[in-house]
Amino acid sequence: MARLGRQVAGLVTILWVAALIVLSYSPGFLTAAPEPWSAPRLEALDEALARREVHLWVEGSDQTWRLTGADVALRVDWVATRALAAAPPRPESPDLPVVTLEAWRIRSWLRERVAGSVRVDPVPARLDAQGRVIPDQPGRRLDLDEAVRRVETAFRRLGAGPGPLRIQLPVVATRAEVTAERLEALAPWTRLSSFTTRFDPDDVNRATNIRLSASLLDGTLVEPGQIFSFNDVVGLRTEARGFLPAPIIVSRRLVAGIGGGVCQLSSTTYNAALLAGLEVVERRHHSIPVTYLPLGRDATVLDRLIDLRFRNTLSHPVLIQSLVEGDRLIVTLWGHPGDRQQVEVRTRLIQEVPPPFQWEDGTDVRDLPPGLSVHELEVVVPGRPEYVVETERLFFGTDGQVVRTEKLSRDRYLPEPRIVRPPGPLQPPAQP
């Protein structure tokens, strides 16, 4: 009987399973449960994430920056979301859906769009006209690592609601290398030298470049033995840094360029360094004379290519003061009273060659029409002679006698052709 009972029970089980199989294939018997993370739902979430916004701001500024999910590639990780949904729940399991983004995009975006606007350079301590210390002023910069962390966290906060999230960007206070405490510790200060050139303040762009570069140079401290580099201190002359288009000298011609006028500051600084007795390491003259300085006293500069450099050969630090007063550009070098020297700079014209003659079409004047002298030609452009000058520096002792003479340079300034035309109806002879 027991055996018969087991057979009956087994038969009933087989029939029940078979019935379920048959019924499960019957139309309308079972309705499949909806897929919680279906493709349409995930696609809709991706679209919503791309539209999410984070608004960034900095304390003390009215400016706001808008960053979207699309900017940082914010999207749902479909595979991870579906796998975690199917797995048994665990306490450490992340919230669903699982989202991903590309943090490098956040860093790049902040660096390119925000960091420059947030940054405020510290102002170094300086000396006033009487040699008194003007305190330094702090600056600030974006804390990029912390800013990336905050923005990434904000984008991952899906439960914060559909509206944009406002995130305060972190900034770090910065201080100038030359502080008031440093200058006060180096006191007393005295003028080692000062040199002034004049410019046209009505030439707005050029004047702006002079003022900007002077502000960047002002307060530079040159330690004993240190080599000062004008290009390193003033930096690249670009529109992004505030420099404007103004004429610059290139190959004997005034051409349009960015930062025209900065060479007047480098030339003024060069003369102040000469009068302070500092060692000139690198200096190059312009290809043509400049209007603001005598021949042999100018110093041209060009981004990354031509620099003005000098070494502090004195026993104490030297502080460079550069300022603009009206139409005057003044560079003063301050230092220790024990380092002051009596110095004189002299230039001597070695050679002056008259400018070559050219016809208006640019060809050289060679053979003249019979009976016509060069002095009878009509001058269209007067031109400029070629000059060769030598510059030297004299050091004087306490008794007023020269103790050392240093030859600084031998400079050649290229000529500007004199453009002429024949008088009256005459025509220049054809060039061979």
pTM of the model: 0.76
Q: Distance between CA 285 and CA 384 in Å, rounded?
A: 17
Mean pLDDT value across the chain: 87
Same domain, 358 and 396: yes
Task: Please indicate, yes or no, if residue 14 is contained in any of the structural domains.
Answer: no
Same domain, 48 and 104: yes
Q: Tell which of 315, 338, 361 closes a domain.
A: 338
143: Cα separation from own chain's centroid = 19
Same domain, 204 and 320: yes
Q: Tell which of 338, 360, 384 closes a domain.
A: 338
Q: Is the peptide bond before 188 cis (omega within 30 degrees of 0)?
A: yes
Q: Report the half-sphere exposure of 31 (CA within 13 A, side-chain side).
A: 1
Task: Please indicate, yes or no, if residue 83 is contained in any of the structural domains.
Answer: yes
Could you tell me the residue range of the domain that residue 324 belongs to?
Answer: 188-338
pLDDT grade for 264, boundaries at 50, 70 and 90: very high
Q: Are 183 and 219 a contacting pair, CB within 8 Å? A: no
Task: Please indicate, yes or no, if residue 138 is contained in any of the structural domains.
Answer: yes
Q: Distance between CA 385 and CA 394 in Å, rounded?
A: 28
Task: Please indicate, yes or no, if residue 372 is contained in any of the structural domains.
Answer: yes
Residue that is written with structure tokens 């070494």 in the block: 311
Domain count across the chain = 3
Q: Report the half-sphere exposure of 74 (CA within 13 A, side-chain side).
A: 26
Task: Please indicate, yes or no, if residue 411 is contained in any of the structural domains.
Answer: yes
Same domain, 169 and 235: no
Q: Tell which of 338, 362, 377 closes a domain.
A: 338
Same domain, 334 and 345: no
Same domain, 128 and 148: yes
Question: Closest Cα to residue 267, out of 210, 326, 191?
Answer: 210
Runs of H (alpha helix) within 327-432 = none
Q: What is the pLDDT of residue 31?
A: 44
pLDDT at 22 over 60: no
Of 5-14, 109-118, 257-266, the one with minimum mean pLDDT is 5-14
Same domain, 334 and 354: no
Work out the average pLDDT over 268-277: 98
- The CATH number linked to 369 is 2.20.230
